[in-house]
Amino acid sequence: MSEGLSVHNANVSYGRRQIVHDLSLPTLPHGSLTALIGPNGAGKSTLLRAVAGLEKMHGVVRLDDLDLSAMSVAERARRVTYMPQNLPPGLSLSVMESVIAALRVTPVDGLPLSNDACLREAFEALQRIGITHLADQWLNTLSGGQRQLVSLAQLIARRPQVMLLDEPTSALDLNYQLKVMECVRGLVREHNLIAVVVLHDINLAARFADHIAVLRQGRLYASGAANEVLNPLLFAEVYRVRARIERCSEQSLQVLVDGAF
């Protein structure tokens, strides 16, 4: 049995419209970060939601030798956590309170339910993302980007084995984009987790992901390491742009987009 997260023959439809077509991903091993990229409407978020158990899906999702699709909501949540694109505005909860609420709502493996343990865990999550200064602030006074950081803190506080992140950097400034991705990659390496991240920023994906899966029209177009997958033909076919892939002085790949077709 292969170790890691695997998706076989996933099919997801909204009503009559099929969004994801018979999609299989190569097994994503523990300790790896995978970026899902592709144009708008390619089915990235839908696939992620299906793996999280939020969409009705035909197909098989396995974590190691466990069939996730057969699990109850609570059981699945102990292993897999999903971070939606946004945390609703206008909630009068303090940041600390909201992270603790996320921690305590259902049992988390290896975490005692005592107040002190929860507080410490929540604080460590804030520290990890570098937002302890927000601990006593109210969610309804935060900016969209700050809420996104809190949202991530809620997720990592629960120490999932699999993190599914839907555009975790979409509202963040340059500094926090890097910080968040570094934090996610750090957690993945330290605790041997599996992370699947939907990203729009290809350069961010190229820089942090061990593995890139490219989706187009609900199908897997290509998958592999950044330098294998990213090439001008892909950008022409998938994104319909003229692009060059350059290796910059610091050895990371940079995608330069010259124009649209």
Partner 1 sequence: MTTQTLDLASATHGYRRLLARRAWLLALLGMALVCAMLVDLASGPSGMGLLALLDGIAHPSHLSATDQVIIWNVRLPYALMAVLVGCALSLAGAEMQAILNNPLASPFTLGVSSAAALGASLVIVFPVTTLWVSANTAISISAFIFAAASVFLLQAMSRLRGTGVESLVLFGIALVFSCNAVVALLQLVATEDVLQQLVFWTLGSVTRANWDKLGILALVVAVVLPFSFAAAPRLTLLRMGEDRAQSFGVDVKRLRFFSLLRISLLSATAVAFVGTIGFIGLVGPHIARILVGEDQRFLLPASALTGALLLALSSIASKLIMPGMSVPVGIVTALVGVPIFVMLVFKRGRQL
Give the binding site for partner 1 (CB under 8 A): 15, 49, 52-54, 72-74, 76-78, 80-84, 86-94, 96-98, 100-102, 104-106, 119-120, 123, 126, 130, 132-133, 135-136, 151, 154, 158, 164
Nearer to partner 1 by Cβ, of 102 and 215: the residue is: 102
State in angstroms the smallest separation of the CB of 54 from partner 1. Answer: 6
Q: How many CA atoms lie within 13 A of 226 on its CB side?
A: 21
Distance CA 25, CA 164 (A): 15
Nearest approach, Cβ of residue 146 and partner 1 (Å): 8
- Nearest Cα residue to 44 out of 31, 34, 30, 33: 34
Provide the minimum distance between the beta carbon of 55 and partner 1 in the complex, in angstroms, as a whole number: 10
CB of 19 to partner 1, least distance (A): 15
* Closest CB to partner 1 among residues 36, 222: 36
Closest CB to partner 1 among 112 and 224? 112
Minimum Å distance from CB 74 to partner 1?
A: 4
Q: How far is the CB of 31 from partner 1 (least distance, A)?
A: 22
Residue type, 56: K
Our CB check for partner 1 shows the closer of 198 and 230 to be 198
Q: Which is nearer to partner 1, 57 or 80 (CB)?
A: 80
Using a 10 angstrom Cβ sphere, with 0-12 exposed, 13-18 middle and 19 or more buried, the burial of residue 68 is buried
Q: Which of 46, 41, 52, 40 is nearest to 23 (CA)?
A: 46
Q: Which two tokens stand for residue 145?
A: 């980007």
Kindly state the smallest distance separating residue 242's Cβ from partner 1, in Å: 36
Which residue lies nearer to partner 1 by CB, 15 or 259?
A: 15
**Between 43 and 53, CB nearer to partner 1:** 53
Helix axes 174-191, 144-157, angle to 10 degrees: 10
